[in-house]
Structure 1
Amino acid sequence: MNHDELYKALCKVPNGKEKSRDKIIIELYMRSQGASQKQLVDALNMRPATVSEQTDILIELGYVTKHIDFMDKRISVVGLTEEGKRLGKS
């Protein structure tokens, strides 16, 4: 199964907290430059609160980083750590 097939399969899984985290990791893996939380909300069809909560958990787990966009200080950009990239590959 390639990454596109895996991504599509994961998007069909019902939203549980752990599945939300998996979806966020896969989406970030597909977007090598990272994404804003709004982009994640739109792409994954999740509530903003869910994306925010699960992103914070992924940061605590060491899979994700978040920083302010240097071009637009109102936007936080979420990206994968090296550990998150390894998880996204598997």
Structure 2
Amino acid sequence: MNKEEMSVRIFKALGHPIRYKIVKFLYDGPKCVCELNEDVWFSQANLSQHLKILKGAGILSCEKVGMNMYYRLSSDEIKNIIDNVDKFVMSFIDNSK
């Protein structure tokens, strides 16, 4: 996979509202799947699919601790991407008034 394809894969993964919400929820550190499931309010199977996509795009990494699986952002650079998009959106909204 080349650089352009990987970039598109990351944007596609972040382009779903639930996956965006998952990434924002993980801003402050790793969370157990059970915590993510409480926040997202989906079936475990649906949440697992979203996590798989985020992990496949390199956005998340995971670690099993005891009986629980913990997910975390793979890099703080992901926060920078989200924060920059949020700033762009706010600027766009402000300039559209």
Short-chain TM bin:
0.5 to 0.7
2:51 maps to 1:51: no
Distance 2:55 2:47 in 1: 12
After TM superposition, where is structure 1 displaced by more than 4 Å over at least 4 residues in a row?
none
Q: What is the number of equivalent residue pairs in this alignment?
A: 69
Letter in 2 for 1:74: M
Question: Percent identical across equivalent pairs?
Answer: 20
Identify, as 1 or 2, the structure richer in helix: 2
Matching of residues 30-49 of structure 1 within 5 Å: 32-49=28-45
CA RMSD of aligned residues (A): 1.7
Query: Where in structure 1 are there 5+ consecutive unaligned residues?
Result: 1-16
Deviation at 1:18, TM superposition (A): 1.3
- The structure whose Rg is larger is 2
- Give the TM-score taking structure 1 as reference length: 0.67
Give the 3 Å change call, closer, same or farther, for CA 79–88 of structure 1 in structure 2: farther
Letter in 2 for 1:42: E
- Give the TM-score taking structure 2 as reference length: 0.62
Distance 1:53 1:86 in 2: 24
**Residue in structure 1 matching 2:70, options 77, 81, 85:** 77
Deviations 1:33-72 (CA, angstroms, capped at 9, x unpaired): 2111111010121221111111011011011001112xxx
